[in-house]
Amino acid sequence: MTSHEGPGITRRSLLAGAAGGLALALTGGRLPSPAEAAEPGADDQTADQPLITHVARPLDAETPCQVFTQYLTPNDRFFVRSHFGPPALESVAPSVWRLSVAGLVERPLSLSLNDLSTFDEITVTAVVQCSGNGRAFHSPKAPGVQWEQGAVGNANWTGVRLRDVLQRAGLKAQARHLQLQGADRPVVASVPLFTRSIPLKKALHPDTILAMRMNGAPLPLLHGGPLRLITPGWMADSCVKWLTDLTLQEEEAGGYYMQTAYRYPSRPVKPGEVIAPQDLKPVEAMVVKSVIAFPQQGAILSPGAIMVQGVAWTGEGRIVTVEVSTDDGKTWEQARLVGDEAPYAWRQWRFLWRTRGSGRRAILCRATDDRGQVQPMASPWNPGGFLWNGWDHVQVQVRET
């Protein structure tokens, strides 16, 4: 039914097309032609490769959207992001790994992975998403990896509750934040470490876990093996990989990755505007979002019934509706929510589209959660290019017969 020899345009190049197309649709105009929508030099990597690489060393690579026809994202097709790359192999052997718990605690701890496995085991199905996912769609461009839709995945994370480990150490009354440090190190010593912190409330939440397994397998090195934090419902910059040090403290972590990077304006801002530090807060919860996994961008489809498929997720809430438009946003119809439903997982959806006529068509989707958050046509611009959740959009070609 589909073929991959489509016009070879990416969703990034189409965003301009989408916005332009919508504006034109409202004024009774026409959709952009393929030549107008395509961008010279747009990458034409096929969807068949396991991951789409943005940076080779250290690896930053996103998942091709058609993998999102599956509920669980396979480990070897799960996006990879890291600032410095994994630590040296000899240091990550499970037999030598230690997790230190220090700072404002009654009893500092140094735990082996065996020690950790004596706590109750828990599995949480959760979406892990980079704050910069969709950065490529922001206009004007925000600096950083130009992720499109695939810096996200849904997996089963198995480990122990962070809360149980912290309670064994015993928290002192002044403890307010938990600082997180992994074993990865920048190549150049002058570059700051990837040091993060989360407020104690999130650290003590029963679903926040120290994960040792991913989709049933030992946590792969690229995904933080042997030990990482999973903060369900929150953006992935809190999901510190290769976790070695937990420090209870009164204040948020200092340093670049907590105090400068991964902060989001608490009021609308214009590109280029100077934003006062008190108007920036750490990126935490995810926002409501949906993406189309099938058909793929540029697909050539036979006319008739097409089962449009995708996934939708939100931060600390539930997806209540996903809507699809096949007329450039003039009208929207509800998709069916299908498959498993779990608090921090994504929800799969399907929409039976009966094509009319032939030629280029756009498929749009948008999700709504139980707190009334609705996926907007475009997300507010912000200096980090974070939290993109604009309507997803694929353009396809319907054959004559």
Ligand X SMILES: Nc1nc2c(c(=O)[nH]1)N[C@H]1C(S)=C(S)[C@@H](COP(=O)(O)O)O[C@H]1N2
- Closer of 148 and 237 to ligand X (Cβ): 237
CA distance 325 to 348: 17
373-396 b/e (C-beta count within 10 Å ≥ 16 → b): bebeebbbbbbbbbbbbbbbbbbb
- Closer of 241 and 350 to ligand X (Cβ): 241
CA distance 240 to 89: 18
> What would the two tokens of residue 107 be?
């009893």
Cα 55 to chain centroid, rounded: 17
Residue 305, number of CB atoms within 10 A of its CB:
10
CB 255 → ligand X: shortest distance, Å?
A: 13
CB 195 → ligand X: shortest distance, Å?
A: 9
Contact string (CB under 6 A) for ligand X, positions 22-41, x = contact: --------------------
79 binds ligand X (CB under 6 A): yes
CA distance 401 to 389: 35
60 binds ligand X (CB under 6 A): no
213 binds ligand X (CB under 6 A): no
184 binds ligand X (CB under 6 A): yes
288 binds ligand X (CB under 6 A): no
With contact defined as beta carbons under 8 Å apart, do 96 and 184 qualify? no
Q: DSSP per residue over 339-351, as a string? A: S---TBS-EEEEE
Residue nearest to ligand X (CB): 182
With contact defined as beta carbons under 8 Å apart, do 377 and 390 qualify? yes
207 binds ligand X (CB under 6 A): no
CB 235 → Mo ion: shortest distance, Å?
A: 7
CB 78 → ligand X: shortest distance, Å?
A: 6
Interface with ligand X (CB under 6 A), residue from 242, 294, 386, 388: 242
Cα three-residue angle 125-117-123, rounded to 5 degrees: 10
Question: Beta strands 347-354 and 280-282: pairing type?
Answer: unpaired
130 binds ligand X (CB under 6 A): yes
Interface with ligand X (CB under 6 A), residue from 18, 51, 67, 80: 80
236 binds ligand X (CB under 6 A): yes
54 binds ligand X (CB under 6 A): no
In the list Mo ion, ligand X, none, the entry touching 184 (Cβ below 5 to 8 angstroms by class) is ligand X
Contact positions vs ligand X (CB under 6 A): 78-83, 128, 130, 182, 184, 194, 223-224, 236-237, 239-242
